[in-house]
Amino acid sequence: MTFAPQTFTSDLQIFMKNKKHKSAITQIFIWISLFVLYCANVEAAREEKINKIEVFVSAYCYRLNQKRGPEILLLKRAPHRELYPNVWECCGGSVRDNESFESAAERQLLEEAGITATRWKVLECFKVNVSPGTIAPGLIFTCKADQNAKVKIDPREHMDFRWATIDDIDNLQLIDQQMRQSIVKLLLIQDKRL
């Protein structure tokens, strides 16, 4: 049985108006029973929320530069960010309700870098440490930007951007080793296509 605050209040009012239950002890007993059931329902809802899975996507956007080779778009996280301040990353974030993984990745790329891309493909899965002891799953998408794409970062999230080659990433502090390996994998694949 499910009780909401409005249901609890209206059930209690109906019960109190019923002349069969005028005994004070009976009223108190029923009121306590309804309250306990209501509290149990609130606790169940809280547990359901805790168990909700947060899912992330990342857009590893590359472009093909004939002189430098394949380049990947990297954004430097703003210093005020709670997680991973001042480190380099690709565009990404959480998937919203009723949003596909690919459309979430497209949205993140547009919001964070101001560009649209083509050739969307899944590269691999990843995980994010969102808080101590809490890991969220994610999907990495690759996509291709036009050579002349103009990047416009959102200063609330990032402080800088750059198009990096496979050699450049060795000198950049990325979020983690998994990201570095995924970027190398993508750039090596694209290098074979040049």
Per-residue pLDDT of the chain (194 residues; tens, 9 = 90+): 333 444 444 444 555 555 554 565 655 655 565 555 545 554 554 455 555 678 999 999 999 998 999 999 999 999 999 888 999 999 999 999 889 999 999 999 999 999 999 999 999 998 887 778 888 899 999 999 998 999 999 999 999 999 999 999 989 999 989 999 999 999 999 988 75
Domain that holds residue 180: 56-193
- Kindly state whether residues 38 and 104 are assigned to the same domain: no
Same structural domain for residues 185 and 124? Answer: yes
Residues 95 and 16 in one domain: no
Judge if 101 and 164 occupy the same domain. Answer: yes
CB atoms within 10 A of CB 143: 23
Q: Kindly state whether residues 68 and 153 are assigned to the same domain.
A: yes
**Do 60 and 36 have their domain in common?**
no
Residues 167, 130: one domain? yes
Q: Report the C-alpha gap between 125 and 134 in whole angstroms.
A: 17
Q: What is the pTM of this model?
A: 0.71
Statement to judge: residues 97 and 187 lie in one domain: yes
